[in-house]
Structure 1
Amino acid sequence: MSDDLDTDFFDGRTVVEVPEDGPLPDVDGPVAWKIRAFDDDLDMDRGFSPAFRDAFERFVDLAGDSVEALVIGSWGYAGTNYAPIAQLCAAAPRLPNLTALFLGDIGSEECEISWMKVGDVSPLLAAYPALEELRVRGGEVFRFSPVRHERLRRLEVQSGGLSAEFVRAVLDSELPALEELELWLGNDGYGGDSTVADLAPLLAGERFPALRRLGLRNAEIADDIAEALATAPVVRRLTALDLSLGTLGDRGALALIDGQPLTHLSKLDLHHHYIGDETADAVRAALPGVQVDLDDLQDDEDEEEDGSIYRYTAVGE
């Protein structure tokens, strides 16, 4: 599992897990409460998890009015149980102060990201008009529908393979307050079939007027994205650009530094990459005032018979 999937903090708050029974623990300052009810019975497709349903309802009864940040972990076994989106939406009146929500904080020891059954996450935005941050993680049955939301400032979608349909629906949404967008595009083997063409409205600067931080992460097409970003109008208004966790190599890295100026960025995150040492040095030299993260150099892998070069995103299955 990538370190980027470890969640100790969310919305700038320490994540504290809700106990199975008894009172909530005493906490020092604001926290993000985490609800989970893992079930290792993997044999049946049982729809929604009664164990999670009961744990969630108990928590909302205990603390609903005070909850500002909420993390949803395992909802039973996420490979057979469906995400509790309808239950979360129904609970909105009892969570009046919720401004940050993470659906799917589940590690590979409980369910691989590509197996997680989620559904359409857009109703969460309709149910919580005051939400400012939404992070969702999923793979199987993972959908989005175009929405309008006035207050969302940060949207993060983590996946080992994000469909073109999902990407286009996000970009068709009206999110006037959105400052940070992060999409984990993944690879085609796990459903990540989006292309640079699907990103065109975003790259052209036509979407999300408040956008300042853009992450197109975990992308098998990282070199293609970097080449498009070299001339993309959206880059001029960004303060941070994140192409990490993907398969970025020399072609994409050189396109970035040979294209439009990037010296206005505060950070360029490229960690988990396939960039050679000489090109990496050139990137650093071209951006002396920018925080450039080139950690976690990966090795190309050859296919046994035909010698084809394979590169892997950090998160797939």
Structure 2
Amino acid sequence: MTIGQHLTEYAGLPVADFALGTARDELPDDPASVAWRISSTHQGGGFAEVLESFLETVDTGAVTALVVGYWYPEEPVELLVAAAGRLPALRSLFVGDIVVEESEISWIEHSDISPLLAAYPRLERFGVRGAQGLELKPFRSEHLRELRFESGGLPGHIVRAVAASDLPALESLTLWLGEENYGGDATVADLAPILSGERLPALRHLGLQDSEIQDEICAAVASAPIVARLESLALSMGVLTDRGAEALLSGQPLTHLRSLDLHHHFMSDAMAERIRKALPGVEVDLSGRREPDVYDGDVWMYVAVSE
């Protein structure tokens, strides 16, 4: 699976592209009615130029949601930090709305995103796509409710930084862990502070997805203290086999969940049916069953998003 479409909605708002040279009378009447996407243009406009035009043209004091698309040649973090005073109402920020025609997900180049979180302390939603060069220091936020990392390989140091952060208001955490070949070297031990739930008292959705160690993650989730207070759980997009599913069924009850996402998996039909029967009141997504590929006698199973 590749990401072939830009976000059309973010933070409950339709996404609107800001184009270089847009006149004020062409803008929406209410700047807070859309999530604005800022990206470099392929007609010569660099990211810094487009961002500055946006800041000068739009009433950015009312902007609540921003989506950062493809950037070139400037990297966006320093520019967005410098613009923080001109975006006082910003509450939702997604960095890296970049599709496969622009860059493979594992090739999206980042830097240290910690300054963004410091510059916008009242963010309620923060998302990042891509993980090449990504850095993050543990942080505290009283306001962040949704944190999302999409990658083909999320480094263990990012997972550990998230796990060491104090996020008392966080309701939704999603981590696409990916493959080691693309930098996804996080271990179950790195996830342990998240699964304990000690720093995440408000968490209601947890997504530990797209992992080549999905079975091991399921075994850890089966006895994780945080699960009892979740409303939804996503263990999808990875190399989930009957072994991981058996661990889930043998662990703590999951009948309190509203939804359990297991799509893109390598379970047998018999195991999938066991899960359905064990969770009759839960919305379970078992779509996208995969068969392992076999090359010269070697069995290969794969995550949904990697390169």
The question of a shared fold, defined as TM-score above 0.5 by the shorter chain, is answered with yes
Partners in 1 of 2:128 and 2:27 — Cα distance? 26
CA contact (8 A) 2:84 2:120 kept: yes
Deviations 1:51-96 (A, max 9, x none): 11010011012221121110000002xxxx4631011011011001
Q: 1:294 to 1:245 in 2, by over 3 A?
A: same
Q: Give the structure 1 partner of residue 34 of structure 2.
A: 31
Select which of 76, 100, 107 maps to 2:99: 107
Q: How does 1:223-234 map to 2 (within 5 A)?
A: 223-234=215-226
CA contact (8 A) 1:126 1:149 kept: no
Q: Give the structure 1 partner of residue 54 of structure 2.
A: 59
Select which of 49, 69, 72 maps to 2:68: 72
C-alpha RMSD of the superposition:
1.8
Name the SS of the counterpart of 2:275 in structure 1.
helix
Partners in 2 of 1:88 and 1:316 — Cα distance? 28
Partners in 2 of 1:145 and 1:296 — Cα distance? 36
TM-score normalised per structure 1: 0.91
Count the aligned residue pairs: 303
Q: Give the structure 2 partner of residue 236 of structure 1.
A: 228
Q: What is the CA-CA distance between 1:303 and the residue it aligns to?
A: 2.6
Letter in 2 for 1:65: G
Are 1:312 and 2:302 an aligned pair?
A: yes
- Structure 1 stretches of 4+ with a deviation exceeding 6 A read none
Q: Give the structure 1 partner of residue 14 of structure 2.
A: 14
Structure 1 regions of 5+ residues with no counterpart? Answer: 41-48
TM-score normalised per structure 2: 0.94
Deviations 1:10-49 (A, max 9, x none): 1111111112212244368821111111459xxxxxxxx9
Q: What is the CA-CA distance between 1:176 and the residue it aligns to?
A: 1.2
Q: How does 1:28-177 map to 2 (within 5 A)?
A: 30-39=33-42, 51-63=46-58, 64-76=60-72, 81=73, 83-177=75-169
Name the SS of the counterpart of 2:184 in structure 1.
coil
Deviations 1:131-160 (A, max 9, x none): 100011113101111111110000001110
Deviations 1:228-261 (A, max 9, x none): 1111111011111001111111111121122110
Q: What is the CA-CA distance between 1:120 and the residue it aligns to?
A: 1.2
Percent identity for Structure 1 against Structure 2: 49
CA contact (8 A) 1:162 1:186 kept: yes
